[in-house]
Chains A and B, each alone.
Chain A
Amino acid sequence: MQNKLLVTSSPHLRTRNDTAQLMRDVIVALIPALIAAVWVFGFRALLLTLISAGACVFFEWGFRKLLKRSNDITDFSAVVTGILLAFCVPVTLPVWMLVAGDFFAIVLVKQLFGGIGKNFMNPALAARAFLFSWPQSMNNWTEPRWYHSNFFTPGTADATTIATPLAFIGQGNLPENASIFDAVIGNIGGSMGEVSAVALLIGAGYLLWRRVIDWRIPASYLGTVAAITLLLPLGGLTRTDSLFWNLFSGGLILGAFFMAVDYTTCPVNPTAKIVYGVGCGVITAAIRAKGGYPEGVTYAILVMNAVSPLIDRYFPRKRFGEGGKRIPLRNITPDLLIGLLKKGLSAVRKNRMVVVLAIICAAAAIALGAVNSVTEKPISDNLRDKSEAAMREVFASSYYDEIEFDAARHPLVTRFYEADGGYVAEVAPNGFNGAVTLMVGICADEGNQDKYLTISGVAVVSHSETSGLGAEAQNPDWLAQFVGNRHSELSKDGGSIDALTGATITSRAVVSGVNAAIALVTDAENISGAASATEDQLAKEDVYAK
Chain B
Amino acid sequence: MNNLFYGGIHPFDGKELTRYSPVKILPPPERLIVPFQMHIGAQAKPQVSPGEEVRLGQILGEINGAVSSYVHSPVSGKVAAVEERLHPNGRMELSVVIDNDGLDTPHESVCPTELPDPSDAGYSAAVVEVMRNAGIVGMGGAAFPGHFKLQSGIGKADTLIINAAECEPYITSDHRTLLEVPDEVLFGVRTLTRALRLDSAIIAIEENKDDAIKVLEAELRGASDIKLRVLPTRYPQGAEKQLIQSVTGRLVPPGKLPADVGCVVFNVYTAWSVWRAVCRGIPVIERVVTVSGPAVESPKNLLARMGTPVRNAIEEAGGLKAGVRKVLLGGPMMGNAIYNLDVPVIKGTNAIIALFPYQTREKDDNKCIHCGRCVSVCPMRLQPLYMYQNERADNLDALRRLNLNDCMECGSCTYICPGRVNLVQAFRSGKAKLRAATQ
Binding site for B on A (CB under 8 A): 1-19, 21-22, 70, 72, 77, 115-117, 214, 263-265, 267-270, 312, 316-322, 324
* Known pairs A115-B367, A320-B406, A322-B253; A7 contacts B355 (CB<8 A): no
Partner of A6, one of B241, B337, B417: B337
Q: List 12 additional A-B contacts (Cβ < 8 Å) besides A5-B326, A72-B367, A77-B369.
A: A5-B325, A7-B90, A9-B422, A10-B336, A11-B334, A12-B328, A12-B360, A19-B418, A22-B369, A117-B367, A268-B371, A319-B406
Smallest CB-CB separation from A273: which chain B residue? B372
Q: Of the candidates A1, A8, A14, A77, which one forms a contact with B425 in the assembled complex, judged by CB atoms under 8 Å apart?
A: A8
Instruction: Please name the residue on chain B nearest to A69 by beta carbon.
Output: B365
Instruction: Chain B residues near A267: list those with CB within 8 A.
Output: 372
Task: Mark interface residues in B331-350 (1 if CB within 8 Å of A CB, else 0).
Answer: 01111111111000000000
State how many residues of chain B have any CB contact under 8 Å with chain A.
Answer: 68
Q: Nearest chain B CB to A227's CB is how many angstroms away?
A: 25
B372 adjacent to A268 (CB under 8 Å): yes
Query: Could you name 14 residue pairs across A and B whose Cβ atoms are closer than 8 Å?
Result: A7-B326, A8-B425, A9-B428, A11-B424, A13-B11, A14-B361, A15-B418, A19-B419, A117-B368, A117-B369, A264-B369, A268-B383, A270-B376, A320-B251
> Which residues of chain A are near B431, meaning CB under 8 Å?
none
Bound together, the chains give a CA A142 to CA B361 distance in angstroms of: 49
Least CB distance, B377 to chain A, in whole angstroms: 10
CB neighbours (8 Å) of A17 from chain B are 416, 418
A261 to chain B, nearest CB (A): 10
Q: Cβ of A14 and Cβ of B419 under 8 Å apart?
A: no
Q: A8-B362, A72-B367 are in contact. Are A13 and B333 (CB under 8 A)?
A: yes
Which 10 residue pairs of A and B lie closest in terms of their CB atoms, listed nearest first? Answer: A11-B411, A268-B372, A9-B425, A321-B251, A321-B253, A14-B361, A263-B371, A117-B369, A11-B333, A7-B337
Contact A8 B376 (CB under 8 A): no
B216: A residues at CB distance < 8 A: none
Q: Within the assembled complex, what's the spacing in Å between the Cα atoms of A14 and B370?
A: 17
B320 within 8 A of A: yes
One of B334, B369, B370 near A10 (C-beta < 8 A): B334
Q: Bound complex: CA of A116 vs CA of B369, how far in Å? A: 6
CB distance from B48 to the nearest CB of A (A): 31
| Cα distance, A18 to B359, chains bound together (Å) | 13
- Give B210-268 interface residues, CB cut-off 8 Å to A: 241, 251-254, 256
Contacts of B422 in A (CB 8 A): 8-9
The docked-state distance in angstroms from the alpha carbon of A22 to that of B420 is 13
**Is B367 a contact partner of A269 (Cβ separation < 8 A)?**
no
Whether B254 pairs with A319 at a CB distance below 8 angstroms is yes
Q: Which residues of chain B are within 8 angstroms of A269 by Cβ–Cβ distance? A: 372, 375, 383
Chain B residues closer than 8 Å to A268, beta-carbon distance: 370-372, 375, 383, 385
Name A5's closest neighbour in chain B (CB-CB): B339
Q: Which residues of B contact A70 (CB under 8 A)?
A: 365
CB pair B340–A14 under 8 Å, yes or no, is no
Residues of B within 8 A of A263 (CB): 369-372
Closest Cβ of chain A to B30, distance in Å, is 20
Residues of A within 8 A of B415 (CB): 11, 13-15
When the two chains form their complex, are residues A317 and B383 in contact, meaning their CB atoms are under 8 A apart? yes
Q: Which residues of B contact A117 (CB under 8 A)?
A: 367-370, 419
Whether a CB of chain A sits under 8 angstroms from the CB of B327 is: yes
| Closest B residue, CB atoms, query A317 | B381
Kindly state whether residue B86 has any CB partner on chain A within 8 Å. Answer: no
* Docked complex Cα distance between A3 and B9 (Å): 32
Residue among A15, A117, A319 having the largest count of chain B Cβ atoms under 10 Å:
A15
Task: Give the docked Cα–Cα distance between A164 and B328 (Å).
Answer: 62
Nearest-Cβ distance from residue A340 to partner chain B, whole angstroms:
21
Q: Using a CB–CB distance below 8 Å, which chain B residues touch chain A?
A: 6, 9, 11-12, 90, 169, 241, 251-254, 256, 320, 322, 324-328, 332-341, 353, 355, 359-362, 365, 367-372, 375-376, 379-383, 385-386, 403, 406, 409-412, 414-420, 422, 424-425, 428
Q: In the complex, are the beta carbons of B252 and A321 less than 8 A apart?
A: yes
By beta carbon, the residue of chain B nearest A72 is: B365
Neighbouring A residues of B410 by C-beta, 8 Å: 11
Q: B256 touching A321 by the CB < 8 A rule?
A: yes
Instruction: Return A380 CB to nearest CB of chain B, in Å.
Output: 46
- Closest B residue to A18 by beta carbon equals B418
Taking a contact as CB atoms under 8 Å apart, the answer to whether A2 and B339 are in contact is yes
A28 to B320, CA, bound (A): 40
Docked-complex contact B355 and A10, CB < 8 angstroms: no
* B360–A6 CB distance below 8 A: yes
For residue A270, which residues in chain B have a CB less than 8 angstroms away from its CB?
376
Residues B327 and A14 in contact, CB atoms below 8 Å apart: no
The reply to whether B369 and A319 contact each other, CB–CB distance below 8 Å, is no
Name which residue of chain A comes closest to B335, CB basis.
A10
- A388, B291: Cα distance in complex, Å: 93
Cα A49 to Cα B206 in complex, Å, equals: 49
Nearest-CB residue, chain A, relative to B358: A16
Find out whether the CB atom of A15 lies under 8 angstroms from the CB atom of B370: no
Q: A18 CA to B376 CA in the complex, in Å?
A: 16
Name the CB-closest residue of B to A324: B251
Q: A1-B324, A2-B340, A5-B326 are in contact. Are A13 and B367 (CB under 8 A)?
A: no
Contact B409 A214 (CB under 8 A): no
Given A13-B360, A14-B415, decide whether A7 and B338 contact each other with a Cβ distance below 8 A. Answer: yes
Q: How far is the CA of A367 from the CA of B353 in the complex (A)?
A: 68
A15 proximity list for chain B (CB < 8 A): 9, 11, 415-416, 418
Say yes or no: A18-B420 contact (C-beta < 8 A), given A11-B411, A268-B375.
Answer: yes
Chain B residue nearest in CB terms to A115:
B367
The reply to whether B420 and A14 form a contact with Cβ atoms under 8 Å apart is yes
Are B360 and A14 closer than 8 Å at their CB atoms?
A: yes
Q: Chain B contacts of A77 at CB under 8 A?
A: 369
Residues of B within 8 A of A318 (CB): 381
Chain A residues near B420 (CB, 8 Å)? 14, 18
Specify which of A6, A16, A19, A321 is in contact with B325 (CB 8 Å cutoff). A6
B367 touches A12 (CB 8 A): no
Q: Which residues of B contact A8 (CB under 8 A)?
A: 326, 337, 360, 362, 422, 425
One of B169, B254, B361 near A321 (C-beta < 8 A): B254
Q: Report chain A residues within 8 Å CB of B383.
A: 268-269, 316-317
- In the complex, are the beta carbons of B367 and A5 less than 8 A apart? no
Assembly CA distance A416 to B189 (angstroms): 92
Q: How far is the CB of B13 from chain A (nearest CB, A)?
A: 10
| Separation of A320 and B339 alpha carbons in the complex (Å) | 36
Question: Shortest Cβ distance from A480 into chain B, in angstroms?
Answer: 62
Chain B residue with Cβ nearest A12: B332
Q: Name the distance in Å between A384's Cβ and chain B's nearest Cβ.
A: 51
Q: Quote the shortest CB–CB distance from B404 to chain A (angstroms).
A: 12
Q: Give the distance to chain B from A319, nearest Cβ to Cβ, in Å.
A: 6
Chain A residue nearest to B402 (CB atoms) is A316
Tell me the complex Cα distance, A15–B412, Å: 10
Q: CA A403 – CA B417 in complex, angstroms? A: 63
- CB nearest neighbor in B for A20: B418
Q: Which residues of B lie under 8 Å from residue A115 when comparing CB positions?
A: 367
| Shortest beta-carbon distance from A482 to chain B in Å | 58
